[in-house]
Chains A and B, each alone.
Chain A
Amino acid sequence: KNQVEQSPQSLIILEGKNCTLQCNYTVSPFSNLRWYKQDTGRGPVSLTIMTFSENTKSNGRYTATLDADTKQSSLHITASQLSDSASYICVVSDRGSTLGRLYFGRGTQLTVWP
């Protein structure tokens, strides 16, 4: 069964600290993996997207890594800010259908305290 599991479910850190969010997937075949940020009451916004051949991608203070062999990805946030408080969603796309189906994780709820 194709699944995307994220950990931790929730995380609280102090402003200025770093943190790492995890994503494990069993989706096969694999096309790409995306990380989205979803603020409360808003739609998700794309942070990074990585294909099979890419193992790291940065977007400002966000750095995503991908290990396609172990089917794991991480999102590292550096020098966290209050505005980083949001849900971070891992999304994996397969290439097994014309739709290119997306599999969504449940997200990690990050709270940054001053």
Chain B
Amino acid sequence: EADIYQTPRYLVIGTGKKITLECSQTMGHDKMYWYQQDPGMELHLIHYSYGVNSTEKGDLSSESTVSRIRTEHFPLTLESARPSHTSQYLCASTLAVMGTDTQYFGPGTRLTVL
């Protein structure tokens, strides 16, 4: 089982609140990713990082922001949550070479914004 962790697992908050979803991995992976997944739908990449101080936006536009100050830590922040942000957020990591390396996923955070 992969050593990649996400907290909280479930979060219900009101509109306008600032939230941070935590993701950490202990495998020393350089690349980390955030995906958004709605029920029955495919995963959409919203952010990725090649390493410390490297962050890029993914394919799906997102109002969230990320930071990568430490290799093992890749938090995602929403400054002002809205009901449209309700979704499952999955963090993943892999070794530096994309190739055939497997992406390891965390358990996800189920976010509900009221």
Seen from chain A, the residues whose Cβ lies within 8 Å of a Cβ on chain B are: 4, 31-32, 34, 36, 41-46, 49, 51, 89, 93, 99-102, 104-107, 109
Structural contact, A43 and B106, CB atoms closer than 8 A: yes
Do B105 and A106 have beta carbons less than 8 Å apart? no
Instruction: Output the nearest chain B residue to A10 by Cβ-Cβ distance.
Output: B40
Assess the A46–B102 pair: CB atoms within 8 A. yes
26 A–B contacts, CB within 8 A, in A order = A4-B42, A31-B98, A31-B99, A31-B100, A32-B99, A34-B102, A41-B107, A41-B108, A41-B110, A43-B105, A43-B106, A43-B107, A43-B108, A44-B43, A45-B105, A46-B104, A89-B42, A89-B43, A100-B98, A100-B99, A101-B59, A102-B45, A104-B42, A104-B43, A106-B40, A106-B41
Residues of B within 8 A of A100 (CB): 98-99
Task: Report the separation of the CA atoms of residues A40 and B44 in the bound assembly, to the nearest whole angstrom.
Answer: 18
List residues of B (1-49) whose CB comes within 8 Å of A's CBs: 2, 4, 6, 40-45, 48
B55 at the interface (CB under 8 A from A): no
Q: Which residues of B contact A109 (CB under 8 A)?
A: 40
> Cβ of A49: which chain B residues have Cβ within 8 Å of it?
100, 102
Residues from chain A with Cβ under 8 Å of B43 in the complex: 44, 89, 104
B92 at the interface (CB under 8 A from A): yes
Which of under 10, 10 to 19, 20 to 34, or 35 or more describes the interface residues of B?
20 to 34
- Chain A residues lying within 8 Å of B44, measured Cβ to Cβ, are 104
Contacts A51-B100, A93-B98, A100-B99; A107 near B110 (Cβ below 8 A): no
Chain B residues 80 to 114 lying within 8 A of chain A, measured CB to CB, are 90-92, 98-100, 102-108, 110
Tell me, rounded to whole Å, the shortest Cβ–Cβ distance linking A103 to chain B: 8
Question: Within 8 Å CB of A104, what residues of B?
Answer: 42-44
Q: Which of B40, B59, B90 contacts A43 (CB 8 A)?
A: B90
Residues on A with C-beta less than 8 A from B102 are 34, 46, 49
**Interchain CB contact (< 8 A) of B107 among A4, A42, A99, A106:** A42
